[in-house]
Amino acid sequence: MGMKVVTFNLRCGNDPNGNSIEERAPRLKAVMDRYDADLVGFQEVTPAWMEHLTADFGDEYEIFNKYRAEKNLESTPMMWKKDQFECLDKGYFWLSDTPDIESKGWDTMGCYRICLWATLRSRKTGVEFTFFNTHYGFSDACQLASGKLIMDHISAMKIKAAILTADFNMTPNSAGYRQLTSYFVDVNAKTANDTRTTFHGYNLEHTGSLIDFCFVTPDTITPLASKRIDDLVDGKFPSDHYGVYSEIDVREKLSLVTFNVCNNSNLGKSPEERCRAMRGVLSRYSPDIIGFQEVTPVWLKQFQKMKDYDFACQYRSVNQKEATPIFWKKDLFDLVEEKHFWLSETPEQESKGWGAMYHRICTMVVLRHIATGKKICCFNTHFDFSDQNHVESAALLKARAAEYAGMPVFCTADYNMNIGGAGYRAMRESFKDLRWEVAPRDFTPTINGFDVDMLPPMIIDFVFTNGTGIRPLSYHVIDDCPRGVRLSDHNGIICTFTLENE
């Protein structure tokens, strides 16, 4: 979803030479109307400014404001177009060691510093993101502590797409800027790369510093354009700062995991113990979709304790209570379609196929992403051992996936095959191995045999996709070993991707 974002320090005071708030407010209105921003972050807003913002923009925009102190009525309000966005949540915190209460922090000027945020959903596309707006203090220590606090909030809130605007009082050569650009992308630096000052003090000849920025999370938001707002109205400035205008494209980021849990209970740790540890690890990764293999009734009972998820499951035979279930977050997806079939010549009935040692079943679901309405098809299975079985199973998956060619298709499994083998080559004829679609590529082994030093290394678990309607972002092997205990004889895989906008 394309968006236009503006950040603008309005200068809190009434300045001489025709630069009082009363005189500057109509200029601001004229300039803002030219840029028609969807989101705006202001700094140095006083009650006098709020009267003008409400009168001039209140019909079109939702305005969220919180003054930084009860006896210091200055703020960093934000506003967004009412007809474009629904506000899901909003709040604020102080840039200090006690962010939840009105407090001064690390600012050498002794000022209160507050950060406002709002989680918004596009009424058109359903894409969600969180918008932060603030005003930094002046010292390196203050800026570094403020940046860490904001990034900690983003992490704690599990935000996937974030926009951060401010008068940062720092330059691109500062430690605070380097800190933020290790996490965010500077829209201006990525696009226009305009190094001119954003502070002028009502002087066109002023050669100050670039201190106002719009930062975005790189995986989920693409910078498109940036421009310094240096418009004058009747030869006059609306503020002592230039505004910064940005165009960005926000996309939905999702994550998918595949994990063979190992049904063998005679390996030192019981399934209950390992499942508790696995649930803890998965809660840190917080995947949106999970494909498990070798799930027995004991494991399924444990996984059903993940209350945020719904699932589809069928055991592979009457006598072999083992399954390849798919779990998905209930608040993100609706189930549209569910199927189960066997990897055999007679896939619609319980059967072994192509010389298999075991019955092999495949779980298939079509999920509708609630926010965007887009559909995703997921297959999850567990191949047998022979090359013939791999090739025939791959052909069956190809045929079934072709029925859903118009949407993203993912195939997760313990494939029991190596890179370069006949089955792998057969899968690559129709699908992309997500490992090869991102950088850096993770070649950590996916089977460990409960032995950290197991040799030779083997990669037999994969995530394949048709590549339709997605942009792969990352691929990571989950080899977490909490308290020195392996979760399984396999390592998991987590992939992230965005749903492409139409």
Q: What are phi and psi of 299, to 5 degrees?
A: -65, -40
Angle at 245 between CA 240 and CA 248, to 5 degrees: 155
464: number of Cβ within 10 Å = 24
Rg (CA), the chain: 27
Say if residue 214 is exposed, middle or buried (CB neighbours under 10 Å; 0-12, 13-18, 19+): buried
Q: Among residues 160, 131, 136, which one has the least CA distance to residue 62?
A: 131
Global pTM value: 0.83
What are the structural domains of the chain? 2-250 (3.60.10.10), 253-499 (3.60.10.10)
In angstroms, rounded to a whole number, what is the distance separating the alpha carbons of residues 250 and 218?
10
H helices within 360-489, ranges in order? 387-402, 422-428
CA distances to 48, 117, 164 from 103, rounded to whole Å, are: 23, 18, 21
Q: Among residues 401, 98, 399, 376, which one has the least CA distance to residue 255?
A: 376
Question: What is residue 452's predicted lDDT score, i.e. its pLDDT?
Answer: 61
Contact status, residue 10 vs residue 43, Cβ threshold 8 Å: yes
In angstroms, rounded to a whole number, what is the distance separating the alpha carbons of residues 117 and 77?
9
Q: Give 63-71 contacts, CB < 8 A, sequence gap 24+.
A: 64/90, 64/116, 64/118, 65/116, 66/92, 66/114, 66/116, 67/114, 68/94, 68/102, 68/111, 68/112, 68/113, 68/114, 69/102, 69/112, 70/102
In angstroms, rounded to a whole number, what is the distance separating the alpha carbons of residues 202 and 397?
66
Determine how β-strand 375-382 pairs with β-strand 409-414.
parallel
Helix, coil or strand: residue 113: coil
The DSSP letter of residue 500 is: P
Residue spans of beta strands (DSSP E) within 261-372:
289-293, 309-312, 326-329, 333-342, 361-369
Q: What averages of pLDDT result for each successive group of 10 residues across the chain (502 residues)?
A: 96 95 98 99 98 98 98 97 98 98 92 98 92 98 98 95 98 98 98 97 91 96 97 97 98 95 73 86 95 96 95 96 98 97 98 96 98 95 98 98 97 97 97 95 91 77 97 94 86 94 61
Question: What is residue 186's predicted lDDT score, i.e. its pLDDT?
Answer: 99
Contact status, residue 155 vs residue 123, Cβ threshold 8 Å: no
Helix, coil or strand: residue 231: coil
AA identity, residue 238: P
